[in-house]
Structure 1
Amino acid sequence: MSLAFSTLIFEWRRYFAAIIALAVAGLMVLAMTGMFLGVGKAFTATIDRSPAEIMVLAADSDSLFGNNSGLPRRLIPTVYQHPDVTEVMPLSGSWAFWSNFPKDGQPAKGNGVQVMVIDPAPGSLTIPNDFDERMLQTIAEPYAVIIDSSSEGKLGVKIGDKAKMNGQTIWVRGATNDYPSMFNSIVFTSRQTAKLLNIVDEGPRVGGLLVKIKDPKRVKQVVAELNQMGGGQYKAWAREDLSKVSERGMLKEGGISVIIGFAVVVGAFIGIVITWQTLQSAILANIKEFAGLRALGVSMGSLRLIIMEISFWVGIFGLIMTAVLVAGISMIAKSLNIPMDFPLYIDIPVSIVLLLIAIMSGFFSLGVLKKSQPADLLR
């Protein structure tokens, strides 16, 4: 065990504030980022759980966000021309206005909802993988809808209640548990009910296409071949790639990137200042020990290395504390049906930044060693 690590272990109370400062800085950045990415993850939930391997969108689309132009319905036969394609289904959905029927003492609720259309036939590409047979039988009823349980309070209904969508009466016949949304709640309905509510039609355009292929292992190759066949009329995506790109697209939105950037700057500032001051105070408290080492012939270069190693271990323990705090926040968010996501392409850079903050704080604290004069031991 090195001297630096031993010092940190036995003098942990003096360095604990620096560890907490790093953990709070990391938590601030990760919680902010995780919340926005969780919103994106909830938005792509219906795609992530689709049995289709490929999605076909408009040619100018770079993610699910902002994909409003749709596709001509006549392109469906074009996609079918690929020999590996076994099924193509239009992805239908739209926005609708929701209002409840208030009961005694219950407030009236009026919200916009995102309607996802399902074809409740066995094996349909529009059926999410987590929908069981009972849910399909339920949603097949005319004017029946399924909501997520996290949206019951927002929509002012429970299973069995009636409500209105676009001014027409519907019935809440079931609830899911894995489609939370911080904005417009997701409501599932059958294509028949969607037509009755004037939410979708069978016009010349569709929102996108779900594509099933014979061998899912060839999805990358089939995507490339479909794009070549289309001649720029559409853009085919592997479902997993589209989901990842859409999540990252959330971070490219102007307002979101500014908020996250502000959180990073504030978190880094808090981490550097508090960690630096805490390390300085801890080193000053041990200044006689460092002076004793100098009296024994230990060079200033070796003492500086000890300080830098201590700051490195402060960073490591700060990362561990950050992981504990983020795990706690995730559990709380899950219990409150708040979607959060922490992908590695965010976690790893934040971890590196936190470790650099700790090392920089140790570097800024090296000047304190000038006070470690051996002559002070005689006083």
Structure 2
Amino acid sequence: MSLALATLIYEWRRYLAAVIALAFSGLLILAQVGMFTGIVKAATATIDRSRADIMILPAKSESLINSGPSGLPQRIQPQIYLHPEVVEVASFDGAGARWSNDPKPGQKQVSTFVQINMVDTRPDAVTLPVDYSEEVRLALMEPYAVAIDRTALARLGVKVGDHAALNGKTVKVRAVLDGYPDINNASVTMSRDTLRLLGMGQKGAKTGPLMVRVKDPTRAATVRDQLNANAGGAYRAWTRAELAQANQGALLKEQIIGVFLGFSVFLGFLIGVGITSQTLRGAILANIKEFASLRALGVSMGSLRVIVLELAFWIGVVGLGATALFTFLVFLLAKSGGVPMGFPVGWVVTVAILLMIISLASGLMALGILKKSQPADLLR
């Protein structure tokens, strides 16, 4: 075991402040990234968990997030069927509607705007999420039946079996979903038939984004390329994983979100460097006689600097572990409250590198204190 690691283990209290500072610097960034990414995951959960292998969007759309109209001409759907490996194509239609609950005596009247998600209730349908239970599928087959995520029941003032109104038409809450929260507008899921009964189905010559299933899911990327080659500028095909990544990237590139994340990175760097460097300086100063003893034994100043930098490295490693623990606890807390979170690998790696840079920079800033480790001071 190296001297630096042994020092950190046996005098961990001296370095605890530095570890905590690093952990909270990382948490400050990851918590915001997780929240913003979770917003996207919640908004596109029905698509991400569908049986679709490919999504068809307008040619100029770069994602489903703030890319303008996502409607496609209806003539495109039969064109997709011309590909020999395509087995099912369905539009993913949706709408917004005014929600009003039917309050019982003493219950609060809730009137708000909700997002409508549509699924086909046919067994193994391409638009039907893979985590829907058979009970939920059968419940949604009932005309005017809707399903709501568990976290939105109180928000919408209903429970299973209650009636409510969507744009003035009566619907019944027949099922509860888990894992489909939405921190913006609450989501209400219904069948395609119910969507039509409510007058919110396809209108005119436009349809929603198309969900496509192919014979062999492992060839989804190949089929995507072939569809795009034959698109003639009318549409763009995406693999489901590719679109999910684009959705996350589109939200994180939003100007206001970029400002938030940029400020968090800057603030985290200042906090991390400030506290970590001062903690290291204080710990080295407290052990200055030990360093002076090493110099008296012939250890060079260069070797002492290496020890300090190695100590900073190990503080960074422990800080990364603490960051992971705190972030996991925040994730569990958010999950219990119905708040979705996601942590893209790229951001996790970026934060890990940033924390190591903060730790090593703090070590470099603390090297100056070694000048006080003069062997002659041992005689005082």
Same fold (TM over 0.5): yes
Letter in 2 for 1:56: I
Task: Tell me, in whole angstroms, the C-alpha distance in 1 between the residues paired with 2:374 and 2:108.
Answer: 73
Matches within 5 A, 1:334-345: 334-345=335-346
What is the match of residue 96 of structure 1? 97
What is the match of residue 196 of structure 1? 197
Is contact 1:120-1:137 (8 Å) kept?
A: yes
Helix, strand or coil for the counterpart of 1:65? coil
Helix, strand or coil for the counterpart of 1:163? strand
What is the match of residue 371 of structure 2? 370
Q: Report the Cα offset of residue 188 of structure 1.
A: 0.8
Letter in 1 for 2:218: K
What is the match of residue 34 of structure 1? 34
Matches within 5 A, 1:1-379: 1-67=1-67, 68-379=69-380
Which sits farther off after the overlay, 192-201 or 280-289? 192-201
Task: Tell me, in whole angstroms, the C-alpha distance in 1 between the residues paired with 2:193 and 2:203.
Answer: 11
Helix, strand or coil for the counterpart of 1:365? helix
If the length of structure 2 is used for normalisation, what is the TM-score?
0.97
Q: Report the Cα offset of residue 111 of structure 1.
A: 2.1
Task: Tell me, in whole angstroms, the C-alpha distance in 2 between the residues paired with 1:311 and 1:122.
Answer: 58
Which sits farther off after the overlay, 184-193 or 56-65? 184-193
Task: Tell me, in whole angstroms, the C-alpha distance in 2 between the residues paired with 1:44 and 1:86.
Answer: 23
Post-superposition CA distance 1:142-184 (Å, at most 9, x none) = 1110000011121111111111111222111111101011111
Task: Tell me, in whole angstroms, the C-alpha distance in 2 between the residues paired with 1:107 and 1:37.
Answer: 32
Helix, strand or coil for the counterpart of 1:256? helix
Task: Tell me, in whole angstroms, the C-alpha distance in 1 between the residues paired with 2:12 and 2:44.
Answer: 44
Helix, strand or coil for the counterpart of 1:230? coil
Helix, strand or coil for the counterpart of 2:230? helix
Task: Tell me, in whole angstroms, the C-alpha distance in 1 between the residues paired with 2:344 and 2:90.
Answer: 30
Which sits farther off after the overlay, 314-323 or 97-106? 97-106
Helix, strand or coil for the counterpart of 1:170? strand
Q: Report the Cα offset of residue 343 of structure 1.
A: 2.0
Q: Report the Cα offset of residue 5 of structure 1.
A: 0.8
Task: Tell me, in whole angstroms, the C-alpha distance in 1 between the residues paired with 2:70 and 2:134.
Answer: 34
Is contact 1:4-1:307 (8 Å) kept?
A: yes
- Identity within the alignment, %: 50
Is contact 2:51-2:213 (8 Å) kept?
A: yes
Question: Where has structure 1 moved over 3 Å in runs of 4 or more?
Answer: none
Post-superposition CA distance 1:249-303 (Å, at most 9, x none) = 1101111111111111111111110101111111110011111111111111111
Q: Report the Cα offset of residue 202 of structure 1.
A: 4.8
Is contact 1:150-1:337 (8 Å) kept?
A: yes
Is contact 1:49-1:130 (8 Å) kept?
A: yes
Q: Which runs of 5+ in 2 are unaligned?
A: none
Helix, strand or coil for the counterpart of 2:175? strand
Task: Tell me, in whole angstroms, the C-alpha distance in 2 between the residues paired with 1:236 and 1:191.
Answer: 23
Give RMSD over aligned pairs: 1.1
Task: Tell me, in whole angstroms, the C-alpha distance in 2 between the residues paired with 1:357 and 1:175.
Answer: 46
Task: Tell me, in whole angstroms, the C-alpha distance in 2 between the residues paired with 1:150 and 1:120.
Answer: 23
Task: Tell me, in whole angstroms, the C-alpha distance in 2 between the residues paired with 1:255 and 1:103.
Answer: 41
Letter in 2 for 1:268: F
Letter in 1 for 2:231: G
Is contact 2:47-2:127 (8 Å) kept?
A: no
Is contact 1:70-1:205 (8 Å) kept?
A: yes
Is contact 1:315-1:354 (8 Å) kept?
A: yes
Q: Which runs of 5+ in 1 are unaligned?
A: none
Task: Tell me, in whole angstroms, the C-alpha distance in 1 between the residues paired with 2:316 and 2:120.
Answer: 53
Task: Tell me, in whole angstroms, the C-alpha distance in 1 between the residues paired with 2:166 and 2:74.
Answer: 26
Task: Tell me, in whole angstroms, the C-alpha distance in 2 between the residues paired with 1:312 and 1:356.
Answer: 9
Helix, strand or coil for the counterpart of 1:83? coil
Which sits farther off after the overlay, 35-44 or 190-199? 190-199
Is contact 1:140-1:190 (8 Å) kept?
A: yes
Is contact 1:78-1:230 (8 Å) kept?
A: no
